């Protein structure tokens, strides 16, 4: 780190950084601050806590609020970290929450928050990447991923020593990091390399916090015929190893042909199952007449798994295609061995392909909750929809009157976001304005 950068961070950290106990548990937005789009709001749920943050890029203020497992106030503080930081990523490690606060420059802040005692530490650092798409953390080492036109670029950074390592072997044309997880002190990375015709590969590669490669293994679908991987998620298993679930095609250039589920244990032994589309009776259930399968090819265009949820006994998948004009989501529930339990489809409404990137899939026993941001529509949440699926059937959609119960009728809410907390509990976050005063609030709802 150069002397100039070191001086910058010393000024920021020792002169500008301060904390002050606020009077309440809601962040009051200053009258001279325009909350759109200068304020980044977010919630990080944990099993025994709910952390919310408000990042005001115009004023350079970070406000943190922590509630315990019963949703009682535990901690509330505000910090000045300098202006211009407008993007926040988060990771959870037990009771510790890490916030990676960034902008388009190389300067970053890692904020380490102990949700039990309220201790907050800031670690300023610099990496060669500007914007960062995602990150994972082991101890002092941060793994950051940036999607570039030719492929995905991965770097490891020790935020205490300043050591930077680029994992150059993962960067080559038509290669994407499909997922990254952390287990037992290892960064487990799912890497897809696309070639011509059937020349493609899906590999799982492990690195330690120092950037040393510990293993590399090919992920293989069942049977003798080589399938084409279309999407994949790396899902930590309830006991040992991982589950890898996604969509496949029978040949390159073909559309969605079904799902695969691969269990991989800590010894890298694999057990695979596939579920062809013809066996999925719920794929067309959202249609008025599921028996009419005309134009089925169009409905199958580039189906991808966007969200997953895993318990000890089950794994649930939510898939859709941004290329389909008549939108729908397909849900699949598998048991721990990858066997089919049920699948169903729900018709949804959205304008853009990224709608499901910010969606939430939750499961209680074998029943599903699915929450995503779509088009505003009468009698449903403004922008957000919450579906309930019981025994494979759509049984409920959170209505406007349920939403009104969490706020006074004379208030105005904007920047509304919803998060799954635990079981059937969800968190709603937004900017509420009453009598001209705006503040960031979060509420608990049960469905």
Tokens representing 81 are 């970290």
What is the Cα Rg of the chain in Å? 23
Tokens representing 295 are 């134009």
Check: CB of residue 155 under 8 Å from CB of residue 169.
no
Which pLDDT band holds residue 150 (cuts at 50, 70, 90)? confident
The predicted pLDDT at position 239 comes to: 67
Q: pLDDT tens, 327-375? A: 789 999 999 889 999 999 988 877 655 667 778 899 988 999 998 877 7
Which pLDDT band holds residue 85 (cuts at 50, 70, 90)? confident
Residue 408 burial (CB < 10 Å; 0-12/13-18/19+)?
exposed
The predicted pLDDT at position 378 comes to: 58
> Across residues 35-56, what is the average pLDDT?
85
> Across residues 294-311, what is the average pLDDT?
76
Other C-beta atoms closer than 10 Å to the C-beta of 128 total 12
pTM, entire model: 0.84
Which pairs from 378-383 meet CB under 8 Å and 24+ separation?
381/416, 381/418, 382/416, 383/416
Q: pLDDT tens, 221-245? A: 776 677 888 889 999 886 678 999 9
Q: Residue 220 belongs to what H/E stretch?
A: none
Q: pLDDT higher for 88 or 382? A: 88
Other C-beta atoms closer than 10 Å to the C-beta of 147 total 14
pLDDT > 70? residue 6: no
Check: CB of residue 158 under 8 Å from CB of residue 140.
yes
The predicted pLDDT at position 190 comes to: 95
């Amino acid at each position: 780190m150069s002397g100039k950068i070191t001086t910058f961070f010393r000024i920021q950290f020792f002169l500008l950084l301060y904390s002050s106990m606020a009077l309440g548990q809601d962040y009051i937005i200053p009258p001279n601050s325009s909350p759109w789009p200068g304020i980044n709001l977010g919630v990080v749920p944990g099993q025994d806590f709910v952390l919310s943050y408000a990042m005001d890029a115009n004023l350079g203020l970070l406000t943190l609020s922590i509630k315990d497992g019963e949703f009682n106030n535990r901690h509330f503080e505000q910090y000045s970290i300098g202006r211009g930081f407008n993007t926040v990523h988060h990771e959870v490690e037990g009771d510790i929450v890490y916030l990676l606060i960034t902008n388009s420059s190389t300067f970053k802040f890692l904020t380490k928050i102990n949700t039990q005692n309220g201790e907050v530490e800031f670690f300023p650092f610099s990496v060669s990447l500007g914007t960062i798409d995602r990150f994972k953390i082991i101890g002092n080492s941060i793994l950051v991923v940036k999607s570039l036109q030719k492929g995905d670029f991965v770097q490891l950074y020790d935020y205490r020593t300043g050591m930077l390592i680029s994992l150059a072997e993962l960067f080559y044309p038509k290669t994407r990091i499909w997922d990254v997880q952390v287990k037992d002190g290892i960064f487990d990375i799912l890497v897809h390399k696309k070639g011509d015709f059937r020349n493609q590969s899906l590999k799982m590669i492990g690195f330690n916090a120092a950037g040393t490669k510990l293993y590399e293994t090919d992920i293989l679908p069942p049977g003798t015929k080589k399938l084409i991987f279309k999407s994949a998620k790396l899902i930590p298993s309830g006991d040992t190893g991982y589950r890898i679930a996604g969509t496949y095609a029978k040949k390159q250039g073909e559309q969605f042909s079904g799902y695969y589920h691969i269990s991989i244990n800590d010894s890298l032994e694999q057990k695979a199952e596939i579920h062809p589309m013809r066996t999925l009776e719920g794929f067309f259930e959202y249609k008025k007449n599921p028996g009419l399968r005309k134009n089925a090819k169009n409905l199958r265009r580039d189906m991808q798994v966007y969200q997953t949820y895993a318990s000890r006994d089950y794994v649930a998948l939510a898939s859709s295609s941004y290329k389909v004009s008549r939108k729908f989501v397909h849900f699949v529930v598998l048991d721990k061995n990858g066997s089919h339990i049920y699948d169903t489809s729900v018709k949804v409404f959205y304008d853009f392909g990224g709608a499901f990137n910010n969606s939430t899939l939750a499961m209680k026993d074998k029943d599903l909750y699915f929450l995503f941001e779509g088009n505003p529509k009468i009698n449903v949440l403004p922008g957000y929809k919450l579906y309930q699926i019981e025994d494979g059937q759509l049984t409920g959609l959170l209505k406007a009157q349920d939403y009104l119960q969490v706020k006074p009728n004379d208030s105005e809410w904007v920047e509304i976001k919803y998060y799954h907390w635990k079981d059937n509990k969800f968190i709603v976050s937004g900017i509420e304005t009453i009598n001209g005063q705006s503040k960031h609030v979060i509420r608990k709802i049960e469905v």
